[in-house]
Amino acid sequence: MKRDPGDGNGRGDGERVAAGRERAIKLVRVAPPAAERLHPWVERMRGVRALVWGDFVLDEYWRCLTRRVSREAPVLVLDWQSRSAQGGGAANAALNLASLGARVSVVGWIGADEAGAELRRLLERSGVDTAGLLEHARASTVVKIRIVAGSVHTALQQVVRVDRGAAFPLDARDRGALVRALESAGRDAQAVLLSDYGYDSVTPALAEDGVRSWRARGVTVALDARYRLASYRGVTLATPNESEAAAAAGIEAGDERDLARVAARLMRVVRPQHLIVTRGRDGLTLWERESGASLEAHGGEEAVDVTGAGDAVVATASLALAAGAPALDAAALANVAGSVAVSRRGAVAVSADELREALGAGSARKPARVERGGGGERGAAPTASDSAARARRAKLRPRARRAPAGGGAA
């Protein structure tokens, strides 16, 4: 396997794709598949063998109360109350897969430290096989500390985040250990999820041979890459959010016409079989070679916390595809899982039971089929009536539910 040199910050060559002429891709707004059509896939996802290869992060939450302003400087004095920890990055993706019923193995790096041991325990408590979670002798576990605070009568909100850890330096011995772990964990995998947060446990160069081999065997290979999306090639599914997709394509996405150009460029260069672009309150879009389908956000509530939503989306979509679901059904299930993920504070895995409940309780909007513009200058921008309808929906949405006082923040 080849080493991607990067730049020390998780960004390798090919962070953006080269500009080129793309064919127009038509985006059509569609109604989601009926709940009774989606429910069987939730059961069929159970028992699918999945491998997560990526950057494993320990998310810490320090809960504090705000009582006064410091006399030393115009800053709040926080009274520490408690600490908790959750799996972040690739760990959250693995926990989502396990919570949905998959049989999960993981491969990646942690440090030989207490944070790494705690992260391993979190995964093992959910039934994840951590034999491939390797301890690095020269680097520490990546830890992200979120300090959340508020008064005794208000929900806690994030005040500051402190990140600890850097990209893992890999020599020939480290790469050999990684290859052996992948061969063991991926031998019978039906789905492989690449979770690249820029810490070099997985890189485009390291993944190249594996992606080619897995795809040749019919394995579903899903990609969630924060910075290096444009450097990967030939995966089954890529799931960037709108800003990540636009940055990778080098195109500012101001409207759906721009988004179609972004998708066309990524489809041409990255060559995924399916591309899902998540769009927050605007739902998500599923792109394939010749067309795109737009699904409105599931349900009507405002997001409480977007932390971990992308992991829920990629885990659900990849598991559904591996179970044999059509791409639109997989995208619709991922859309529902994302809505559940943003309804809680912190990166909390979405369970199969929660997914079933949300399928039964969520609103199934059925908008008229509206064609949107394709790549280049073809196609019309959203009309005034579309904008007005969106504004009316925004007014009708209930306000964000108040989170429990112990909740974390993004």
Q: Which residues are catalytic?
A: 311
- 219 DSSP 8-state letter: -
Give the CA distances from residue 224 to residues 54, 197, 239, 244, in Å, rounded to whole numbers and listed in that order.
9, 8, 6, 10
Dihedral of CA 338/341/345/349: which sign?
A: negative
CB 379 within 8 A of CB 29: no
Pairing of strands 26-29, 76-89: unpaired
CA distance 41 to 333: 9
Dihedral of CA 104/106/112/116: which sign?
A: negative
CA distance 106 to 376: 41
Using the structure block, give the residue that is written with the tokens 């190249």: 208
DSSP letter string, 258-327: HHHHHHHHHHHHT--SEEEEE-GGG-EEEE-SSEEEEEPPSSSPPPS--TTHHHHHHHHHHHHHHTT--H
